[in-house]
Structure 1
Amino acid sequence: MAVTERMPALYLSHGAPPLADDPVWPGELAAWSARLPRPKAILMVSAHWEEAPLALGATRTVPLVYDFWGFPGHYYRVRYGAPGAPALAESVRKLLRAPGMPVQDIPDRGLDHGAYVPLVEMFPDADVPVLQISLPTLDPRRLMEIGRKLAPLRDEGVLIVGSGFFTHNLAALRHPGVPGWSADFDAWGGEALAAADVDALLDFEHKAPAGKLAHPRTEHFAPLFVTLGAAESAGELGRGRSVIDGFWMGLAKRSVQFG
C-alpha cells in the first residue's frame, strides 16, 4: 500500500469495557476512524500500561489483557486479533534507543482495554497491525520528548494514538450527573488545546481548575503528551481539534486530533 500523506496523531478517551454498549460513543469513534486516512500500522500508548524502561508489547497476535474486575462475563469474551507489527517495533527501537533511554521487549504482553476497547469500534475488522508501548514515566515533559522522537513514524503511515481519559476520578461514578470538577477541567483543557497553550497543559496539576480532582493520579492524562510531542514536531500544535466531547458517567470523553 502506498502511503501518500502524513498520518494524524490522536489522543482519545478510551472509556471502559461498557463503552461498547453506549448508544452514542461507539458511533462517534466509528465515524472518526472513517474520516482518517487508512494507517499502515497503529502505535498505541495506553494509560493502562506503565513500565520502565519503555517496553514494546507483543509483535504477534496474542491474547488480550483483561485488566479490569467485576464486570459481566461478556466483556471478558471480547476478542481483537489484530496482526502484530514487528517492523514498526524495530522502527520504534531505532528512534528511541539512546543513552538514558533504554527500550525493552515484553513479547507476550497483549493489548489492554485502553488499546482494544477503542480499536474494536474504530477498526472493527482488526486488519491493521497494532503495536502497544508502555508509559515509562508520568512526567509530561519526558513524554513529549518521546512523542517528538516517534513523530517520523507518521510519515511512514503510522497512526500514533495516546489513549487515556480526559478526566479520570472514579468518584464520579458514585453520583448522577457531571461533577463540577469534571466539567471545569474539561472546559479549561479544551480551551488550552485550542490555544495551543502547551505550557499550561504541562503544568495542568497546578494551572487547571480542579486539576488534582480531575486526575488524582495522572496516568490517564499522560498519553496526551506523547500525542502533543508528535504534533509539535510537525508544527501542528495550533491545528488540533476536538473530535469528540461530552461526558460519559460524569467523566469527560474529549478526544483530539492533530493533522
Structure 2
Amino acid sequence: MATAAPERMPALYLSHGAPPLADDPVWPGELAAWSAALPRPRAILVVSAHWEEAPLALGATETVPLVYDFWGFPEHYYQVRYAAPGAPGLAESVRKLLRAPGTPVQDVPDRGLDHGAYVPLVEMFPGADIPVLQVSMPTLDPVRLLEIGRRLAPLRDEGVLIVGSGFFTHNLAALRHPGGTPGWSAEFDAWGREALEARDVDALLDFERKAPAGKLAHPRTEHFAPLFVTLGAAEAHGELADGRSVIDGFWMGLAKRSVQFG
C-alpha cells in the first residue's frame, strides 16, 4: 500500500530567548501551544543566529553534547540536555540542494545544537524525539540568505520544519532601562509587523536603512538574519501572504515577535 505523502510543513522564524526563557511565566507556554498546533515534523532544520560559519556548514548528524554558548548564568542552565536524534538523511538532502560550483558545503560533525536551537526546542518539542539538524549562516547578507531559504524550500514537502531562530530586536548593550520597553525596540517591532503584513520583502531586506531605529534594534544583524531564510522558504511556495505573527510582545525589553508561513 502506498505511503501518504507528508504534509507540507510551515516555515517559522522565532525569537529564541536566552536560557532564562524557561523561567518566564508566559513565553514557554506560548511556544508549547504553537508547536501543538503544527503538524508533526519528520525532522527539524534550524538556522540559528549563534552559528556563523563559511562555507555553509552542517552540524552533527548524531547526538552530541549541546553548545552552551553563554557565560555568567547560574549553573543549572548548563545542566539542560536535549538529546534529539541526528538527521543524516536531512543533511544529505541539504547538501544536494545547496552545493553548487563556488558554493561548497562542509561538515562539522562534533558541532552540537547551540542555545538558539535548543532553548526554544526544549519548550516546543520537549520529548527530544524529532531529528534535528543545525545549519550555519555563511553570510549575513539578507539577499543571499533569502536565496538559501528558496533552495531549502523543497524540504518542506518532505515533512521538514524549517526554523530561522533569532530575536526580532537585539541590542543588549542598549538595555539600560530599569523597566519597560525601550522606544527603539517598540518602534522597530511595529515597523517589522507592518512590513511583514504588507509582504514588503524589499523593505525587510533593507531594514538597516528603512526601519526606524534599525541600527539600534540590530547593531549587528545576526539575530534578524535568520528571518530571511524563513522568508525565502515561504516565498518559494508563494506563501508570503499566509504569514502571521504567532507570538508578540516583549521580554526584558526585546521584541519576541515570532512568525509562521504556511
Give matches, 1:94-243, under 5 Å.
94-175=96-177, 176-243=179-246
User: Is 2:229 the partner of 1:248?
Assistant: no
**What is the RMSD of the two structures over their aligned residues, measured on CA atoms?**
0.9
User: Which residue does the alignment assign to 1:83?
Assistant: 85
Q: Deviation string for 1:231-253 (max 9, x for gaps)?
A: 00000111100000000000000
Separation of aligned partners in 2, 1:195 and 1:111:
34
TM-score (norm 2): 0.98
User: Which residue does the alignment assign to 1:69?
Assistant: 71
Separation of aligned partners in 2, 1:101 and 1:18:
37
Return the letter of the residue paired with 1:233.
Answer: A
Separation of aligned partners in 1, 2:48 and 2:236:
21
Return the letter of the residue paired with 2:110.
Answer: D
Say whether the 8 Å CA contact 2:175–2:182 is kept in structure 1. Answer: no
Separation of aligned partners in 2, 1:96 and 1:146:
7
Unaligned runs of at least 5 residues, structure 1: none
Return the letter of the residue paired with 1:167.
Answer: T
Return the letter of the residue paired with 1:23.
Answer: P
- Secondary structure, in 3 states, of the residue corresponding to 2:238? coil
Separation of aligned partners in 2, 1:105 and 1:171:
34
User: Is 2:57 the partner of 1:55?
Assistant: yes
Say whether the 8 Å CA contact 2:6–2:158 is kept in structure 1. Answer: no
Q: Deviation string for 1:190-235 (max 9, x for gaps)?
A: 0000110000000000000000000000000000000000000000
Return the letter of the residue paired with 2:68.
Answer: Y
- Secondary structure, in 3 states, of the residue corresponding to 2:110? coil
Say whether the 8 Å CA contact 1:215–1:221 is kept in structure 2. Answer: yes
Separation of aligned partners in 2, 1:33 and 1:106:
28
Return the letter of the residue paired with 1:87.
Answer: G
Moved runs in structure 1, 4+ residues, more than 2 A? 1-4, 171-174
Say whether the 8 Å CA contact 2:86–2:133 is kept in structure 1. Answer: yes
Separation of aligned partners in 2, 1:64 and 1:57:
11
The count of residues paired between Structure 1 and Structure 2 equals 259
Unaligned runs of at least 5 residues, structure 2: none
Q: CA deviation at 1:174?
A: 2.7
Separation of aligned partners in 1, 2:174 and 2:12:
25
Say whether the 8 Å CA contact 1:172–1:249 is kept in structure 2. Answer: no
Separation of aligned partners in 2, 1:38 and 1:199:
32
Q: Percent identity?
A: 88
Q: Deviation string for 1:9-37 (max 9, x for gaps)?
A: 00000000000000000000000000000
Say whether the 8 Å CA contact 2:63–2:86 is kept in structure 1. Answer: yes
Separation of aligned partners in 2, 1:200 and 1:168:
19
TM-score (norm 1): 0.99
